[in-house]
Amino acid sequence: MLKVLVVDDEAPIRQWLEYCVDQFDGFTVAGAAASGVQGLDIYRRELPDIVVSDIEMPGMDGLDILRAIRQEKPELRVLILSARSALSERVAGLDLGADDYLTKPFELEELEARVRALLRRDFAPRSVAVSAGALTLDAQRREITADGAALPLTRKEFELLEYLMLHPERTVSQEELLDHIWESDSNPFSHSVRMHISSLRKKLRQALGYDPIVTKIGQGYRLEVER
């Protein structure tokens, strides 16, 4: 049986995670921690095969756990959980070597698929680089390259492409982009997202010879990884 450690300070979510793992064939819960300190203690005692941890917790948070684990066991698989508004924290998690992240709320089937996919991966030295097709995001340097060449972007263009790269092959609505990238009081009827997407697409076409962003009418935008 493969052991999964779950860490979340919110009891309903922690219990949901335990329930999910119990449904996975071949998996068992190594422990369920309500804090970062407790999670690290269980990790050192139980030596799980994978850790599923929330980011936002009082005291020792998920990023602190990730940092400690990477120093002690770099190859351990770590899946971080994040709230919808925590894009910067997800990037910080990738910087520290998280293997994957999952946005709340999520379904049991998606969590199981992510966990199984992580455990199928061969271990390789971790990098802060995230690739999506011909695009590569260096989260540490805050740079994006297209076919290996630097892609000059404005701050908003960068943030839009970054978000799409962190959610490849998923349709992201304009409302979601406003929620994550613009100020909280932004006008939902503004054309700002559309204008910045348009300018971003022009730069992508110039750099790649094609536009990897697909518009789903009435739904939003999707970054296509495969051509």
User: C-alpha distances in angstroms, 97 versus 103, 148, 161, 168, 227?
Assistant: 17, 22, 21, 19, 28
Quick one: CA torsion of 61, 55, 7, 9, rounded to 10 degrees? 70
Q: Are 222 and 216 in contact (CB under 8 A)?
A: yes
Per-residue model confidence (pLDDT) at position 192: 81
Pick the CATH number of 2-120 from 3.40.50.970, 3.40.50.2300, 3.30.70.20, 3.20.20.10: 3.40.50.2300
Q: Where are the domains of the chain?
A: 2-120, 129-223
Which parts of the chain sit beneath pLDDT 50? 123-126, 184-186
Residue 85's CB: how many other CB atoms inside 10 A? 11
Mention every residue, 6+ apart, whose C-beta is less than 8 A from residue 26: 1, 2
Q: How are beta strands 220-223 and 77-82 bridged, if at all? A: unpaired
Q: Are 42 and 8 in contact (CB under 8 A)?
A: no
Structure tokens at 80: 């971080």
The secondary structure of residue 169, as a DSSP letter, is T
CA–CA separation, 208 and 68 (whole Å): 39
Q: Provide the CATH topology of domain 129-223.
A: Arc Repressor Mutant, subunit A (1.10.10)
Per-residue model confidence (pLDDT) at position 184: 44
Q: Cα 190 to the chain's mean position, in Å?
A: 27
Q: HSE on the CB side for 217, CA within 13 Å?
A: 0
| Per-residue pLDDT tens over the stretch 72-112 | 888 889 998 877 555 666 667 776 778 888 888 788 888 89
Mention every residue, 6+ apart, whose C-beta is less than 8 A from residue 112: 20, 23, 24
